[in-house]
A and B are shown apart, each in its own frame.
Chain A
Amino acid sequence: MMVNFILRRLLAMILTIWVIATLTFILMHVIPGSPFNSHNGKQLNETVQKNMEMHYNLDKPLPIQYLIYMKSVATFDYGPSIKHPNDTVNSLISDGFPVSFELGMITLIVAILSGIILGIIAALKANHFIDYVAMTIAVLGISIPNFVLASLLIQEFAVNLGWLPPSMWTSWKSEVLPTIALATGPMAIIARLIRTSMIEVLTQDYIRTARSKGLSPILIVFKHALKNALLPVITLLGTLAAGILTGTFVIEKIFAIPGMGKYFVDSINTRDYPVIMGTTVFYSSILIVLLFIVDIAYGWLDPRIKLHKKEVI
């Protein structure tokens, strides 16, 4: 049953990626301009441009170009970048992605853990001083955009206090500020969600049952309540992960982190078609895989949610 489910999901994932790749292709060609429109502000020689277009198959009719792109998506080989001819798209991804992935993953883990802890504390001390403090932090975290927070953090901790480096990606110290800037928003959302669902779960009958067994409050919160309270967070996790992913583009720019975000944004500005195509499909695949993991986590958290429908005869 489980194998069947995974196979079906895999098929759906491939379909989704195909749709995304196609949409990206269409959007790419809807935007006016081409990679050779402006080269350092100068118009290229006409024959040079023709040659270049031929080299990158841009002279062929769109359906043929589409097929060529689809082939590159299927083989994970997008060829060289138009703007950085010395790099292939794959080498750009393999250079930038580990850094982006590290930043994203650390951020996600920090956001989830601190969000859960903050939410639990707020729920257990509901309507007390501690709860108000935690929720004020959460509201601030949600309302301040990460690029504003990033600038503030650099100003305070790098420039004024000089504790941490203001940019680059060299040691763990340089990872602290971008992580905080990126994690605060998701953390706040998670904390508020956990608080609400935790307060509700703690009034459930099965919590009273657990208490009637004389279990310690810690065991009740973490074994009996948390799993139930996590469900709404899991629902949101896919969206949060997407938010962190796109957040990395901005944060990487602010902190001059050599991640993938830079190539992604630059490629769109310069119409670097292979790079746009490659990075978009790559990011989409990661998101789709994350959503798949979220679905699996659902089934693990709440056994009532069936991953596979039984055949109805």
Chain B
Amino acid sequence: MEPLLEVKQLHIHFPTHGGTVKAVRGVDFTLGKGETLAIVGESGCGKSVSSLAIMGLIDHPGKITNGSIIFKGKDLTRLTSKEMRKIQGLDISMVFQDPMTALNPTLTIGSQLMEGLIHQKKLSKRKAKKEAIKVLDLVGISNPLERLKQYPHQLSGGMRQRVVIAMALICEPNLLIADEPTTALDVTIQAQILELFESIQKRTGISIVIITHDLGVVAKMADRIAVMYAGRVVEVGNKRQIFYHSEHPYTRALLQSVVRLDQSNNSLKPIEGSPPDLFSPPKGCAFVDRCPYAMEVCGRIQPQKTRLREGHQVECWLQDTRAVTIRKEMLASQS
């Protein structure tokens, strides 16, 4: 099947006075129709920047220096900002992290909901209003007609996030990018919002890229998972593969750093150390300083992608086919 979105060797740099931050250093992933891909990783690993790049919202002086983002057969990195605007909101839309700041405080909910339809789809105000009511209904907001006249400050955080989601859905896009959509919300509201995403996907067949550092969200939502570290995707696979058969030491460490209620007396296991400086990223594997299994080669040469199973890929020298043959040889010589 032709994938809806294909990100290939994406590099994004931010020139600053102190040097160039290489925030994204060769990211690859694909997303099929109706699929949910979760991008996980700690703060600063480049997950948000990658998603903003898909949306065409990388701000000056940030720049996509290399790679391509193929969406429906078109390379988004080659479009002018005017051409990109025809895709923003209509084909790809975005849900942001903080619903408290994502809505304009001086405009009514209705005006912010309908502007996409009016200015992008050239709908009449009356038709736009009808659509707005429909989409508010879809995201579970009561009294939609009343809400259209209200201002953001008159709604609760959970309600506002529903409005933000409604805004993202109103032009019926094919791809929804959700950047930490539940991080700023209460736990009870988080569950509701995640369920809302699921029900919307069931009804509309929309593809979703969800960016998060919350593995609980990942377990609930994702079909496939891409684990990012220091600007690269270090492991990608489906939910089972990542949660039960992860092979990258970083993925495993990430999974172990989650509090588990079913294992008593098991204290939290943080990942020692901190991510590398992206002003001058390491030559080899970026995780080498924190990796308990690091070998000499890890610090020298960037590991290549190794395909473990169907859809399960990892960037780690431990899993490199050559390493495996060496291991086999070692085993053979020992016996």
Contact = CB atoms under 8 A, between A and B. Distances in A.
A224 B120 CA distance: 16
Interface residues of B, number: 29
Binding site secondary structure of chain B? mixed
Nearest to B119: A215
A4 to B, nearest CB: 21
Contacts of B107: 223-224, 227
Binding site secondary structure of chain A? helix
A205 B86 contact: no
B98 A205 contact: yes
A38 B84 CA distance: 79
Given A205-B96, A304-B151, A304-B153, A212 B105 contact: no
Given A219-B119, A303-B153, A213 B93 contact: yes
B101 interface: yes
Contacts of A224: 104, 107
A210 B167 CA distance: 10
Interface string A203-235: 011101111111110010001100110000000
A200 interface: no
B96 to A, nearest CB: 6
Nearest to B88: A214
Interface residues of A, number: 21
Contact of B104 (A206, A212, A214, A216): A206
Contacts of A211: 57, 88
Interface in B230-252: none
A302 B105 CA distance: 7
Interface string B49-76: 0000001010000000000000000000
A219 B101 CA distance: 19
Nearest to B55: A212
A13 interface: no
Contacts of B116: 213-215
Contacts of B104: 206, 209-210, 224, 228
A110 interface: no
A96 B167 CA distance: 55
Given A206-B101, A214-B86, A216-B119, A227 B106 contact: yes
B57 A214 contact: no
Interface string A281-313: 000000000000000000001111000000000
B88 A206 contact: no
Contact of A209 (B102, B151, B153): B102
Nearest to A205: B101
A212 B89 contact: yes
B153 A214 contact: no
A296 to B, nearest CB: 15
B91 to A, nearest CB: 9
B266 to A, nearest CB: 38
A226 to B, nearest CB: 10
A227 B108 CA distance: 13
Interface in A124-149: none
Given A205-B98, A209-B164, A214 B85 contact: yes
A193 to B, nearest CB: 17
Contacts of B151: 303-304
A208 B90 CA distance: 16
Contacts of B94: 209, 212
A210 B90 CA distance: 13
B103 interface: yes
A212 B119 CA distance: 13
A133 to B, nearest CB: 21
Contacts of B167: 209, 213
A300 B168 CA distance: 27
Interface of B: 55, 57, 84-90, 93-94, 96, 98, 101-107, 115-116, 119-120, 151, 153, 164, 167-168
Given A214-B120, A227-B106, A228-B106, 18 more contacts: A206-B102, A206-B103, A206-B104, A208-B102, A209-B102, A209-B103, A209-B164, A212-B88, A213-B88, A214-B86, A214-B88, A215-B119, A216-B119, A224-B104, A224-B107, A228-B104, A303-B105, A303-B106
